[in-house]
Amino acid sequence: MAQKPHTFLHLEASNGWGGQEIRTLKEAASMREKGHTVLFAVQHGAQLGDRAKKEGFEVRYLDFRRRKLFITVPKLIFLIEKRGVDRVITHSSKDGWLGGLAARLARCQVIRTRHLSTAVKKGLNSYLLYNFLADKVVTTCEAVALSLQQQARLPKERCCSIPTGVDPIAIEQGLTSTFPKPSPFVIGTACILRSWKGLPTLVEAFALLRDDPDISLLILGHGSMRPHLEKQAKSLDLAHRIHFTGHLENPYPAMASMDLFLLLSTAHEGVSQATLQAAYLSKPMITTPTGGLPEVALHNKTGFVVPCNSPEQVAKAILKLKDEKLREQFGQASKKHLMENFLWSNTVARLCEFYEV
């Protein structure tokens, strides 16, 4: 017997647009395809709200600042009751507190997500936010799930890791064009250029390999770190060999041109979408042990895991992967690991099971 359709309300206090917001919108679209109703209530100015509206979702704009508690919570309760919401999903700290409280008062199930590997405040804070104000907790990597289970004293059946999988069809559709290789051997990364992505370390590692004229560095993405990185490249006299593409709506041809993918994050990382996309493209990779990165880059199987902030270790790993046979071996293992564990269809199936819909 088919289950009845459910009504989800996603709450988001963040104004940014990154992996967290992309997953939220993608999940909403998948649940809508399955016949469920999905609504959004987001902070004024949130990019997620604007993009959700373009996708045809109903969006409400609210103020999730705590000083607006006595205004926002009643509005949320009214929305939950009026639209028959039976699953409230919170994604950030501010909407976790206000949304969790509103859902509790409306007697509605609350699902709290944790997208990043950043440590949460210990003690009463984590217990209230992830236990009292949430019926279930979803993380994007196993390390965070284990940490929350211990810290908030959550039983395993109430807290699990469901990584964001990739959609092979979307990647294949993006590979209809090509990207010119700037050199015979291209190392590269793709991310929002933020301070914790380990990008200065990547540039320093590349500088250690400057005597090899066959190697170039390709950096995909935009962000606040770009001026600093361009200045660093210039100071090292490597500006002509480090190529910045800026934001690419379709990054797959550029990623496909890489011989080796790196992501050297030092914090805040769940299971990175960029590493999964690189794995689908059969790229060997070098990552740090941050968050969920080692769940994709299996040391000595699909790539190498190196310590954070260690350009010398990164350079050594790059030199090892100049071996074409080793790259092919790791690349094939990367795609096999991806296909077995990180497809979006699997993500949706696991979410439906966990949400009981």
- Does 322 have pLDDT greater than 90? yes
Q: Is the pLDDT of residue 1 over 60?
A: no
Using pLDDT thresholds of 50, 70 and 90, give the confidence band for residue 18: confident
Cβ distance 256 to 224 under 8 Å?
no
Which DSSP state fits 343?
B
Q: Average of pLDDT values for 71-89? A: 97
pLDDT grade for 264, boundaries at 50, 70 and 90: very high
**Residue 42 half-sphere exposure, CB side, CA atoms within 13 Å?**
24
CATH number 3.20.20.150 is the correct assignment for the domain at 168-341: no
Q: Give just the sign of the alpha carbon dihedral 118, 161, 19, 49.
A: negative
Q: According to the 3-state scheme, what is the secondary structure of 78-127? A: HHHHHHCCCEEEECCHHHHHHHHHHHHHCCCEEEEEECCCCCCCCCHHHH
CATH of span 7-164+343-355: 3.40.50.2000
The reported pLDDT for the residue numbered 144 is 84
> What pTM value is reported for the model?
0.87
Q: What is the residue-averaged pLDDT of the chain?
A: 94
Stretch among 89-93, 106-110, 112-116 having the lowest mean pLDDT: 112-116
Same fold, 7-164+343-355 and 168-341: yes
Pick from 126-130, 186-190, 212-216: least confident: 126-130
Cα separations in angstroms, 65 against 14, 93, 114, 139 = 11, 10, 19, 24
Name the band, by pLDDT with cuts 50, 70 and 90, for residue 293. Answer: very high
Sheet holding 87-90, edge to edge: 58-62, 37-43, 7-12, 87-90, 109-114, 136-139, 159-161
- Listed by start position, the domains of the chain span 7-164+343-355, 168-341
* Residue-wise pLDDT tens digits, 187-200: 999 999 999 999 99
